[in-house]
Structure 1
Amino acid sequence: MNSDKNTVEIVSEDLAHKPHPITSVLSAQSNIFADENQDITLGFIREYEKNGLSSLANVDLNAITRKIDKQMMLIMFLCYTCQFIDKVALNYANIMGLRKDLGLVGNQFSDLATYFFVGFLIFEPIQGFFIQKISPTRVLAVNVMIWGVLCMCSSATSNFAGMITVRVLLGCSEAAIAPCLVLITASWYTRGQAAFRTGIWYCGLGAGQIIGGLISFIFQQISTLAPFKGWKIMFLVIGFGNLLVGFAAYFYLPVNPVECKFLTQDEKYALLIKLSETKIGVQSKKFVKSQVWEALNDITLYLFFIIACTISFSSNTITTFSSVDILSFGFTSKQAALLNMPSGVVSIASTLLSTFFIMKGFPRGLSIMILCVPAVCGGALLSFLPKSNQAGLLVGIYMINTIVAPLAIIYAWVGNCVAGHTKKICFNVAVMFGFGLANILGPQSYRADDYPDYIPAKVSMLATQAATIVIAALINLVYFLRNKRRSKEPKRAMDEDVAAAYLNKTDFENRSFRYLY
């Protein structure tokens, strides 16, 4: 931690001898400040240096980071928790009588899970456009509030048509959540800090599983003869909670480091200098077409798309149908709600383990592979153990939940290994497209004809988990080879690196950029 503080002191010593360290580099580049492609922070940096530099020797980056954590991390965690509670709420509502009350037949419950992600896929590029043009924090907050209203509307549905309409609209809203959180994290934290913070808000997934199970158990105490069903009250409560979190996100999450009110001008400048080491930038509202083409010509875009598919196929399938699986083992609906809660504990533990791996310098691909091993074993237990072995089947359910953690690594990986704001959004859209496609295919593997064992679905989970290991190794290899080539190129001066970070250059354009793997 002391290294961060020392870095500020070194930078400030350098500033003492250079009145305009960044603008002096940029002044040699024609009309650079008139370039609308540049990062919004360049204007702040220029004005700060133009008006004279304050002493930064006493600015403590650790204190700045603590301020950011206090202001933002809890809300980001709650946003991810809320968006995941609804996923498991449908899972729990199924064992609370939703199927009977809505008159669902055949594969219609699977369709409710599938068409959620049809809306998700359709709206993902549109949400990406809003994020580029407005602000990740504002788009996040508004969508969480919309999500809350739609979640409450679920309780008003009385048939399949009404519920599937709400599910599609919910998917449109959720398309923004993860991309916004990834971009916010990358805009406020250095590479070394971002992985841990991504892990913190991603733990909301496990928290959602635990809270959802508890809520389901509580509302299952309501008599099935009551005029207002327990699962409907559950959706009302969850939706209201989402609304509160959405309002909190709107008023407490700052638009960007330049416009935040809880940091002084000196602290903002010191933070931006430190963030420039990532060579990623903070925010640019200009949509740059060349960055779209560059993203489409980057092989890692397709590798991240595929690995998001293979991870999400298992993770969503197990979160949507785990209660159904537990019921099929011979447990009651109330027992299924409680027995599903340890899945959330496993999700949180595996997510924290993934961040530990990254903080200790483990290769990201290797970390994903390690976390896939118990998931593969769990898939094998579910696929091949006899139905009479309840304990073994439950262990299989819990072990499969380690597959959710690699997606947190993917989020952090994309956030730290892609530069250029438009290109980064393209990568986030690709990852979420993979996520959405897998979530469309996953529920469809649970076919009514395969009831009650659903062996094809369980074997499919096993296969996709194994494929994740191969794709992770390929991404690692690509980044290793790129860094090896760049290490042979001449190094740039520190000031040029700082300037390049806020010129909205991509990782291909900025040859001093180094990939994490």
Structure 2
Amino acid sequence: MSDIKKPETATPVLSEGAEVTEIRDIGAGLYAEANQLSPEELEREKTRVRKILDWRVMPMVYVTYVIQFLDKLSVNYASAYSFIPDLGLQGQRYSWVAATFNFGYLFWALPASLLIQRLPIAKYLGGMILLWGALLVAHVGAKNYAGILVLRFLLGMAEAGVSPCIMNITSMFYSRNEQPLRMATWLSANGMATMVGSLLGFGLGHSHNTALHSWQLIFLTIGLLNVVCGCVFLWLMPDSPSSAKFLTHKQRIVAVQRVADNMIGVKTKQIKLHQALEVLYDVHVLCCAGMAVSCGIINGGVSNFASSLIKGYGFSGIYATLLQLPTGAFEAVIVPICGIIATYVPNSRCLVLTGVCLIPFGGLLGIRFTGLEHRWTLVGCTWLQYIVGAPVIICWNVLATNVAGHTKRSFANGLWFTLYASGNVAGANIFFAREAPRYYSALTGLLVCYAGMIVLALVAYVWMWVENARRDKAIGYDRGSWRRGADPQAVLDGFKDMTDKESKHFRYGL
């Protein structure tokens, strides 16, 4: 088998001639300088740079995700107190308040993805953090149904770019092998947010003789936290590896060289229409889009109605808030475990996604068929629903690592989050007030969503495996050669802003 060609390990060179004119990636210049460093020096610096990024980028991303998920849960915690009667939100009105956030998210998801491609990403995200902090503080002054609807819609718009921003930041600073664990780590911040929010809601529920109601104090406290975090984020977070002030020039070169094997470059601001159209007939993108709808329905239902479910089992409002504390621990532990498996077991992302869906699926069956006299069993099954963060983050990682071409990535992300927001709208409205406290229609819908995610994950896995094999055969590479690193030509194609379909040297990560 000595005649089988294998990818070279040397760093490909970006020429100074006509080829450079077609390369507009902001990291291309630094990548070209990587040839000035010896392989030994690169390896030594790569480890050092990764540790610096883990200490400087990841904490900011983690805290940002904690506070943004607190925002989403704020209505859920407020509903445990006098929020619903004070604003006249009885019946389906509360469902529409929960859904309106997602209408705003849906309205701005695609524009946000395009703005992320065009604007400095850290400055855009920092500005949004400040904006949604101000909007949360404004919730304190809401007096009626119409007022809270407007505020929730605007809050949804402000938060539409958060997850796409953080996905792009992760892709710019980390290699595709490092991404599953890092993405799982910052998404596990949802679990931390749930625990912090439960304790916060429980503590503020004991406030008496104040000018503000408990639900108003919840919005005020979370809003002010956002404002502080937004200021810190704008001060510390770089827009890309090439502008990271906490790295030396050599370390910036290494930071760009580290992510070159992702085969997607760093960032290109040019919008290309043909890349946007490619999203519409890419099988694995469409599978991820289908999973986005399912994830949204599940998240929209669980995040807004956990308090209602637990209260329906026979617990008082203040304890319904406190009993959501363990759900955060479930998510904070299980999501990183899934990230570790996806990181250290090659080509396991889709299979991990399939397996982790079975846990909350079993929990839903428990809620559906267990009687109210077994209320602690019902609470335990409800806790399992917060594991939805694991399939969400793995689906994001499948999308982030397997879509090349920056316009295509922007539209694929925009499509994902648009459908995710649509699912959240539907999820908040399949819990019919007339079916309380069991919500049988909603439980059936969530079971169908998990079953659909399992099927779509397996379809995406098979399609990408077959496509990789077809490309290997066409070019003459053996399958094992790809485990030793990306083809140098695929790296150059990434800096040229070629899509995964256009670059025949691109390989999908399963």
Q: Tell me the TM-score range normalised by the shorter chain.
A: over 0.9
Separation (CA, whole Å) in 2 of partners of 1:123 and 1:447: 27
Q: Once the 2 structures are TM-superposed, how far is the Cα of residue 226 of structure 1 from its aligned partner?
A: 4.1
Separation (CA, whole Å) in 2 of partners of 1:484 and 1:55: 33
> 2:349 maps to what in 1?
364
Bigger shift: 353-362 or 475-484?
Answer: 353-362
Partner SS for 2:438? coil
Separation (CA, whole Å) in 2 of partners of 1:298 and 1:204: 31
- 1:456 matched to 2:454? The reply is no
Q: Once the 2 structures are TM-superposed, how far is the Cα of residue 501 of structure 1 from its aligned partner?
A: 2.5
- 1:427 matched to 2:418? The reply is no
Any conservation in 2 of the 1:195–1:409 contact (CA below 8 Å)? Answer: yes
Q: Once the 2 structures are TM-superposed, how far is the Cα of residue 56 of structure 1 from its aligned partner?
A: 6.0
Q: 2:20 aligns with which of 33, 43, 52?
A: 33
Separation (CA, whole Å) in 2 of partners of 1:454 and 1:413: 33
Any conservation in 1 of the 2:405–2:494 contact (CA below 8 Å)? Answer: no
> 1:5 maps to what in 2?
none
Separation (CA, whole Å) in 1 of partners of 2:118 and 2:384: 41
Structure 2 vs 1, CA of residues 497 and 480 (structure 1 numbering), >3 Å: closer, same or farther?
A: closer
Separation (CA, whole Å) in 2 of partners of 1:80 and 1:380: 30
Q: Deviations over 1:364-391 (max 9, x none)?
A: 2211121111111111111121111101
Q: 1:114 aligns with which of 75, 85, 99?
A: 99
Q: Deviations over 1:422-461 (max 9, x none)?
A: 1111111111112101100001011122123211112211
Q: Once the 2 structures are TM-superposed, how far is the Cα of residue 173 of structure 1 from its aligned partner?
A: 0.8
Q: What runs of 5+ residues in structure 2 fail to find an aligned partner? A: 1-7, 478-485
Any conservation in 1 of the 2:104–2:156 contact (CA below 8 Å)? Answer: yes
> 1:243 maps to what in 2?
227
Any conservation in 2 of the 1:491–1:512 contact (CA below 8 Å)? Answer: no
Counterpart of 1:269, as a letter, is I
Q: Once the 2 structures are TM-superposed, how far is the Cα of residue 482 of structure 1 from its aligned partner?
A: 0.7
Q: 1:127 aligns with which of 112, 119, 125?
A: 112
- 1:96 matched to 2:81? The reply is yes
Q: 1:469 aligns with which of 430, 434, 454?
A: 454
Q: Once the 2 structures are TM-superposed, how far is the Cα of residue 495 of structure 1 from its aligned partner?
A: 4.5
Partner SS for 1:307? helix
Separation (CA, whole Å) in 1 of partners of 2:281 and 2:469: 20
- 1:405-420 matches, within 5 Å, as 405-420=390-405
For these two proteins, the number of residue pairs brought into alignment is 492
Any conservation in 2 of the 1:403–1:465 contact (CA below 8 Å)? Answer: no
Partner SS for 1:269? helix
Q: Deviations over 1:184-206 (max 9, x none)?
A: 10111001111111011101111
Separation (CA, whole Å) in 2 of partners of 1:511 and 1:253: 35
> 2:262 maps to what in 1?
278
Structure 2 vs 1, CA of residues 239 and 266 (structure 1 numbering), >3 Å: closer, same or farther?
A: same
> 1:57 maps to what in 2?
40
Partner SS for 1:95? coil
Structure 2 vs 1, CA of residues 244 and 56 (structure 1 numbering), >3 Å: closer, same or farther?
A: farther
- 1:326 matched to 2:310? The reply is yes
Partner SS for 1:467? helix
Separation (CA, whole Å) in 2 of partners of 1:23 and 1:128: 29
Q: Deviations over 1:228-275 (max 9, x none)?
A: 111111111101111111112211111111111122222222232231
Separation (CA, whole Å) in 2 of partners of 1:80 and 1:34: 38
Q: Once the 2 structures are TM-superposed, how far is the Cα of residue 40 of structure 1 from its aligned partner?
A: 1.4
- 1:67 matched to 2:59? The reply is no
Counterpart of 2:451, as a letter, is A
Q: Once the 2 structures are TM-superposed, how far is the Cα of residue 500 of structure 1 from its aligned partner?
A: 2.1
Q: Deviations over 1:29-77 (max 9, x none)?
A: x3x3333x6211123345x47xx93556334211100111111101101
> 1:44 maps to what in 2?
30
Partner SS for 1:155? helix
Any conservation in 1 of the 2:106–2:419 contact (CA below 8 Å)? Answer: no
Counterpart of 2:339, as a letter, is T
Q: Once the 2 structures are TM-superposed, how far is the Cα of residue 102 of structure 1 from its aligned partner?
A: 0.7
- 1:501 matched to 2:487? The reply is no
Q: What runs of 5+ residues in structure 1 fail to find an aligned partner? A: 1-9, 16-20
Bigger shift: 340-349 or 133-142?
Answer: 133-142
Separation (CA, whole Å) in 1 of partners of 2:88 and 2:297: 27
> 1:266 maps to what in 2?
250
Q: TM-score, normalising length from structure 1? A: 0.91
Counterpart of 2:244, as a letter, is C
Q: 1:143 aligns with which of 121, 128, 132?
A: 128
Any conservation in 1 of the 2:262–2:401 contact (CA below 8 Å)? Answer: yes
Partner SS for 1:388? coil
Q: Once the 2 structures are TM-superposed, how far is the Cα of residue 103 of structure 1 from its aligned partner?
A: 1.6
- 1:166-185 matches, within 5 Å, as 166-185=151-170
Q: Once the 2 structures are TM-superposed, how far is the Cα of residue 154 of structure 1 from its aligned partner?
A: 0.8
Any conservation in 1 of the 2:187–2:389 contact (CA below 8 Å)? Answer: no
Partner SS for 2:444? helix
Partner SS for 2:25? coil
Task: Flag the structure with more relative contact order, 1 or 2, with Cα contacts below 8 A and sequence separation at least 6.
Answer: 2
Bigger shift: 493-502 or 423-432?
Answer: 493-502
> 1:386 maps to what in 2?
371
Q: Once the 2 structures are TM-superposed, how far is the Cα of residue 494 of structure 1 from its aligned partner?
A: 5.3
Partner SS for 1:412? helix
Seq. identity, %: 25
Separation (CA, whole Å) in 2 of partners of 1:368 and 1:54: 39
Q: Deviations over 1:102-133 (max 9, x none)?
A: 12232010001111111111111111121111
Counterpart of 1:357, as a letter, is I
Q: Deviations over 1:159-185 (max 9, x none)?
A: 111111000000001110000111110
- 1:340 matched to 2:324? The reply is yes
Separation (CA, whole Å) in 2 of partners of 1:67 and 1:56: 20
Q: Deviations over 1:15-34 (max 9, x none)?
A: 7xxxxx5123x63xx3x333
Separation (CA, whole Å) in 1 of partners of 2:472 and 2:302: 43
Partner SS for 1:510? coil
Q: Once the 2 structures are TM-superposed, how far is the Cα of residue 363 of structure 1 from its aligned partner?
A: 1.9
Bigger shift: 171-180 or 59-68?
Answer: 59-68
The root-mean-square deviation of aligned C-alpha atoms, in Å, is 1.9
- 1:510 matched to 2:510? The reply is no
Bigger shift: 330-339 or 495-504?
Answer: 495-504
- 1:198 matched to 2:183? The reply is yes
Q: 1:300 aligns with which of 277, 281, 284?
A: 284
Partner SS for 1:106? coil
